[in-house]
Chains A and B, each alone.
Chain A
């Protein structure tokens, strides 16, 4: 090396040395592709297993009955019968309660944090909210069963000790951080210039929030709702503990209900031997759950595309 090494030389030399780098650069796409394939193959594997076992189930139980019958007695010795309806209503009702709690509270929290709170408040509050997201669901289940239900029963005497309402509310509380945090991110990423444009027209802060920021952030906000709903539908522990296992076909949320996921837990941990119809029903329910979530996501994607405001 000479006495003076110019930056130019350094850069050039580095270029030459890095033949190896160049090779790596070429192979990296293949490695990435291989890794990406793993997730795709896993999905394909799971879905085809589901499909196959579901097919076996429907050889024994009529598909029409499965969707129209309202009796769910998988383990009955006398006359077992299978129906998705009680589980479907259970899942939908509990998720609905959860979203009725999570969406308004989550969204207002997001609005407050993104539009009204000062920087210091935001910095203090956000981590606290995110702690909520880190609590194990079993704790929430316990909380619903031993704390929320007794309190609710003070006000609603008809409430059963296991019911759909209490786990719904607690599940909603669990989902608040998800909705709040993701909606806040979406609102925060709306450029400041847009807010200024509206304020300069004489809009109040609320008008800016409702008519500029939220519409501009709507796809992110809807995405947060969808993730929330998906979590509600997929949530198992809270409902297993606090909602009991009655396979009631009812719309009365003061009663015990079972969700699809809770059913799967119950039957897997119970005494349905491999190869029995009850065992195969797990797959049918899981498959229904899969389709249900898929439809949910597609619907949300559609809504979010329809109202998207690109900037």
Chain B
């Protein structure tokens, strides 16, 4: 919960050597993606590390959502998408035929920009994932629901109304419910696409604190338009522009001494 104390003004950190020992969860290699003729991702190369928060920033339309949706292959739901290159998740290429897409998505959870709970009770929302993966035992389901809701810091607010429709919750609560729903299948990585853009400042703060806690056990990749947010909560930041990764480095470095002029222009608000 030390999120807010992370300074953006830290001097250069001793990195490189440290990174060698870190486990890579996701490694993107020469990734290209086209929507029809629109070359939306251009030759992306990005390693992402375990128990870190990786922020993806960049102006609107630069391919952030596209990239994050490629990581769990949700992007393939769009018609006429063409992909080349590899994404290694724990050293396995996610585009391999042997790697079932359902398995990938069970291990890699996703939280969307707009909260999208199912029109079911709070309990059934959380239990949905475990249920489709074969857990039927009521007692176990109950435990999972409580644990997930606690994990998403919303248990206290909803414990007395578990059997009410999730649409009765506020937007911020719905978003944390969606995070809890994602935790219920015990993922390894959590992808978040602007998870706080539809929330008020207070709910945003709660979600940010939550992300800090979750990082202990999960690796998190988050798209955000909010520079302060990226600076506050992330360990690494990737700056995207027109489908390319312009710069990728420790968040402290990106926000203090970026090496590319365009990165600097963007984070200081000169464009985008």
A contacts, CB < 8 Å to B:
118-119, 191, 193-194, 196-204, 207, 211-212, 215-216, 309-311
Q: Are B105 and A194 neighbours in the complex by a CB distance under 8 Å?
A: no
Given A216-B119, A310-B167, do A200 and B102 touch, yes or no (CB 8 Å)?
A: no
Query: For A204, what are the chain B residues with a Cβ–Cβ distance below 8 Å?
Result: 102, 132
Tell me if B181 counts as interface (CB < 8 A to partner A): yes
Query: For A211, what are the chain B residues with a Cβ–Cβ distance below 8 Å?
Result: 128, 131-132
Query: For A200, what are the chain B residues with a Cβ–Cβ distance below 8 Å?
Result: 72, 74, 105, 109-110, 112, 182
Given A207-B132, A211-B132, A216-B118, do A201 and B165 touch, yes or no (CB 8 Å)?
A: no
Given A197-B112, A201-B128, A203-B132, do A215 and B120 touch, yes or no (CB 8 Å)?
A: yes
Chain A nearest CB: distance from B136 CB in Å?
Answer: 13
Given A196-B74, A196-B77, do A201 and B109 touch, yes or no (CB 8 Å)?
A: yes
Given A310-B167, A311-B119, do A201 and B181 touch, yes or no (CB 8 Å)?
A: yes
Q: Are B72 and A198 neighbours in the complex by a CB distance under 8 Å?
A: no
B contacts, CB < 8 Å to A:
72, 74, 77, 79, 102-107, 109-110, 112, 114, 116-120, 128-129, 131-133, 165, 167, 178, 181-182, 185
List 5 extra interface pairs beyond A198-B132, A200-B74, CB under 8 A. Answer: A197-B116, A197-B181, A200-B72, A211-B132, A311-B119
Contact of B129 among A193, A202, A216, A310 (CB under 8 A): A202
Chain B nearest CB: distance from A219 CB in Å?
Answer: 11
A310 to B132, CA, bound (A): 22
A202 to B131, CA, bound (A): 11
Given A202-B105, A202-B129, do A310 and B116 touch, yes or no (CB 8 Å)?
A: no
Chain A nearest CB: distance from B59 CB in Å?
Answer: 24
Contact of A309 among B110, B114, B119, B185 (CB under 8 A): B119
**Which residue, of B79, B114, B129, B167, has the highest number of chain A Cβ atoms within 10 A?**
B129
Query: For B110, what are the chain A residues with a Cβ–Cβ distance below 8 Å?
Result: 200
A311 to B174, CA, bound (A): 12
Chain B nearest CB: distance from A141 CB in Å?
Answer: 42
A238 to B214, CA, bound (A): 65
Query: For B112, what are the chain A residues with a Cβ–Cβ distance below 8 Å?
Result: 193, 196-197, 200
Chain B nearest CB: distance from A133 CB in Å?
Answer: 30
Q: Are A194 and B116 neighbours in the complex by a CB distance under 8 Å?
A: yes
A243 to B34, CA, bound (A): 60
Q: Are B74 and A199 neighbours in the complex by a CB distance under 8 Å?
A: yes
Query: For A207, what are the chain B residues with a Cβ–Cβ distance below 8 Å?
Result: 132
Given A194-B119, A197-B116, A207-B132, do A311 and B72 touch, yes or no (CB 8 Å)?
A: no
Look across to chain A and name the residue whose beta carbon is closest to the beta carbon of B103.
A202
Look across to chain A and name the residue whose beta carbon is closest to the beta carbon of B121.
A309
A263 to B40, CA, bound (A): 68
Given A201-B109, A201-B185, A202-B105, do A193 and B165 touch, yes or no (CB 8 Å)?
A: no
A309 to B103, CA, bound (A): 28
For the complex of A and B, the 9 pairs showing the least CB-CB separation, nearest first, are A202-B106, A309-B119, A311-B119, A193-B116, A200-B110, A202-B105, A201-B129, A197-B116, A202-B102
Q: Are B118 and A202 neighbours in the complex by a CB distance under 8 Å?
A: no
Q: Are B105 and A212 neighbours in the complex by a CB distance under 8 Å?
A: no
Look across to chain B and name the residue whose beta carbon is closest to the beta carbon of A207.
B132
Q: Are A203 and B116 neighbours in the complex by a CB distance under 8 Å?
A: no
Query: For A196, what are the chain B residues with a Cβ–Cβ distance below 8 Å?
Result: 74, 77, 112, 116
Q: Are B120 and A201 neighbours in the complex by a CB distance under 8 Å?
A: no
A212 to B128, CA, bound (A): 9
Chain B nearest CB: distance from A211 CB in Å?
Answer: 7
Q: Are B120 and A191 neighbours in the complex by a CB distance under 8 Å?
A: no
Chain A nearest CB: distance from B197 CB in Å?
Answer: 14
Chain A nearest CB: distance from B179 CB in Å?
Answer: 12
A94 to B151, CA, bound (A): 55
Query: For B181, what are the chain A residues with a Cβ–Cβ distance below 8 Å?
Result: 197, 201
Q: Are B165 and A309 neighbours in the complex by a CB distance under 8 Å?
A: yes
A202 to B101, CA, bound (A): 8
Q: Are A310 and B119 neighbours in the complex by a CB distance under 8 Å?
A: yes
Q: Are A199 and B117 neighbours in the complex by a CB distance under 8 Å?
A: no
Look across to chain B and name the residue whose beta carbon is closest to the beta carbon of A204.
B102
Query: For A212, what are the chain B residues with a Cβ–Cβ distance below 8 Å?
Result: 118, 128
